[in-house]
Amino acid sequence: MDDAELLERLLGGDESAFTELVRRYHQTLVKVARYYVASATSAEDVAQDTWIAVLRGADKFEGRSSFKTWLLRICVNRARTSGVKEHRTVPVDTNESGPSVSAHRFDQGGFWSDPPVPFTDAIDTRLDNTVLLKAVRDAIDSLGEPQQAVVTLRDVEGLSTQEVATLLGLSEANVRVILHRGRAHVREIVEEAMKGSKL
């Protein structure tokens, strides 16, 4: 069932429709909120406030954007307000100018001295593979901010770079840089995890 149908059911008082929307998006809300607020607890509070706002305003949702975009916008607005109250400075990507792959993996000429071991065909062709998906999820969860919010919105939730930039108030160029570094980090962790896999 898609989000619009679930929202329709929620408006009719269907508890299971609300639970399904929560299941789909709560963790994403927490990750996005975490970019703005000082602690994981605050981020949970923002996510909860977002659901309250959804319950109060669901009948006013006009469908001009997708439910997901509407939900995320509510979350970001609330997180920004909480962050300001906490005097929190939104983190910048401090490693922006450093290499995305460790320098020690290249020789002095800039060529690989420790090249990546290609994934086996079984990994490449089975994206539903639970070992791979767990490794990817763990890797994304290990990212710091702002990489975690950007990778989650772009690659997990499938927003465009432009949508991510608008939502987070960043330039598209900045989102691309953060995304590149986040993806490189995720790839590195997954590469390590897959080395020990028999897939």
Q: Under the rule (CB under 8 A), what is the footprint of another protein?
A: 13, 15, 18-19, 22-28, 44, 48, 51-52, 55-56, 99-101, 103, 106, 109-112, 115-119, 123-124, 127-128, 132-133, 136-137, 139-140, 151, 155-156, 158, 161, 176, 179-180, 183-184, 186-187, 190-191
- State the nearest-atom distance from the C-beta of 70 to another protein, in Å: 18
Nearer to another protein, 64 or 198 (CB): 198
Q: Nearer Cβ to another protein, position 85 or 137? A: 137
Name every residue whose Cβ is closer than 8 Å to that of residue 152 and which is 6 or more positions away in sequence: 28, 31, 32, 140
Question: Least separation, in Å, of the C-beta of 49 and another protein?
Answer: 10
What SS3 state is found at 112?
A: strand
- Min dist CB 87 to another protein, Å, is 27
Q: What is the dihedral of CA 57, 72, 81, 18, to 10 degrees?
A: 50
Instruction: Provide the greatest CA pair distance for the chain.
Output: 65
CB atoms near residue 193 (< 10 Å) = 16
> Which residues pair with residue 112 across a beta bridge?
106
Cβ atoms of 52 and 88 closer than 8 Å: no
Q: Which is nearer to another protein, 86 or 112 (CB)?
A: 112
Minimum distance between the CB of residue 59 and another protein, rounded to whole angstroms?
A: 10
Smallest separation, CB 92 to another protein (Å): 18
* Phi, psi dihedrals of residue 112, rounded to the nearest 5°: -55, 130
Complex with another protein: residue 63 or 109, whichever CB lies closer: 109
Amino acid at 181: R
Which residue lies nearer to another protein by CB, 9 or 89? 9
